[in-house]
Amino acid sequence: MDFIITPPEMLEQQPVQLPLSKSESNRQLIIAALTPGAKLPERVADCDDTDALLSGLQASPNATVNVGAAGTAMRFLTAYFASRPGCDITLDGSERMRQRPIAPLVNALRSLGADIEYAGAEGFPPLRIRGRMLEGGSVELDASVSSQFVSALLMIGPTMQNGLTLRLTGRIISTPYIRMTLEMMQQAGVSSSFNEPIGEITVGHAPYQPTLPEVEADWSAASYWFEIAAISAEPVTLRGLFRKSLQGDSAVGNFFAVTGLSQELLPNGDLQLQLTPDAGSQLNVDFSNNPDLAQTMAVTCCLLSLPFRFSGLESLRIKETDRIAALQMELSKLGFITDASEPGTLNWLGARFDPGETIEPIETYQDHRMAMAFAPAALFFPGLRINNAQVVSKSYPQFWNHLRAIGFTIEEPAEPAADA
């Protein structure tokens, strides 16, 4: 399904009810599944990623589980099934998922006593997993590939006979997601220690308690509304966010400060975004801790003519697509010339050209964040076409309806006339 997007003359001023956090939801589901006597929570994110994880947790112990494009589900379920005695699971995914590396997690689990085989290419899904009580102990893990490998191991740590001591090697990325995992484990009754300077995390053998709190709205989803507020110069009000958040992407307001965007917590708990005259100059940001915000910030800065140098983007190469290459290609359709010659970086120093009156459709590469990061560009390029727009269902199924609610016109292109 492709959409053509036309912006309103002025945005409708009504609050946007953000979707629930899929990061919190996915962790809550795994912890609940590991909690003796607990039921799986019902109030979780309504999106493809969380649906895939929930479906896997509800599968029979001798099933083939296909998570599609849900990377979090693949990593969390790999560890979960490995720790469940009696499971004999084949865990598979989409064609792209079969290209996303999982060897660091598999190697760590094997060293802790797991029985996992590759059912296809070495180092990649699909996996054959025979669950057992894991011995636990000490293990090293390269934390420069994905923090989800770390979180997957941490959450099953309390079920291991000897607990878990995890020594992280390499450059640790997305540290806020690791802290989120540990905090949610703490809320469920499992204590841990994180010696961040030396990269060592210790989790003792202990049962989880069914005490997890309410899931917050998703700050990553909020970032697209920050973008709309910044480039439209009109107020936007967001609903469902907490004053104190577990989510690392709650730092989105700090990144958008360079655009002059301010945020105010209203008495009813809503968050209002308002543009001020305080825009900055060139932006230098390390996205190691917040890689999911990089696409939104790149599009925003280009549209606002704010040069930038983004680093810490190494993990974007192995996401739903190669997000750096995808950003370069699609930004070029809007006339922006970026550079990614240095590994893990994306730079725009202001180079641009006239893309002409007819803008090529924006491709999404089966990546939800590409669709949502580029959709607000219709404010500058009315009639912008987003191909395969349904990919937003991975994290934010109501995104297009929410755009309609504030005045955007979202239409499918007319089909070409049939031959007589």
Task: Give catalytic residue positions.
Answer: 292
Distance CA 224, CA 78 (A): 31
Q: Is the peptide bond before 197 cis (omega within 30 degrees of 0)?
A: no
**Distance between CA atoms of residues 130 and 145, nearest Å:** 25
| Contact indicator for 386, 363 with CB cutoff of 8 Å | no
Residues 6+ apart with CB under 8 A from 95: none
Residue 381 gets which letter from DSSP? Answer: S
Helix (H) or strand (E) holding 28: helix 22-34
C-alpha distances in Å from residue 99, one per residue of 89, 103, 199, 235, 410:
20, 11, 28, 41, 33
Angle at the Cα of 412 (from 406 to 417), degrees rounded to 5?
150
- Classify residue 343 by its DSSP letter: T
- DSSP per-residue letters across 211-230: ---PPPBPHHHHHHHHHHHH
What does the chain come to in residues? 420
- Contact criterion met (CB below 8 Å) for 309 and 301: no
Q: What is the rounded CA–CA span in Å between residue 29 and residue 54?
A: 7
Count of H helices and E strands in the chain?
Answer: 12, 18
* Structure token pair of residue 4: 């053509």
Q: Centre a 10 Å sphere on the Cβ of residue 173 and count the other Cβ atoms it contains.
A: 23
Q: In what order do the strands lie in the sheet with 137-142?
A: 137-142, 164-169, 200-203, 192-195
Count of Cβ atoms closer than 10 Å to residue 269 Cβ: 11
Neighbouring residues of 170: CB distance < 8 A, sequence distance ≥ 6: 142, 143, 144, 145
In the structure encoding, which two tokens stand for residue 404, read together?
A: 């309609």
Closest CA to 49 of 93, 101, 83: 93
| Beta carbons of 248 and 27 less than 8 angstroms apart | no
The Cα 129–Cα 123 span in angstroms is: 14
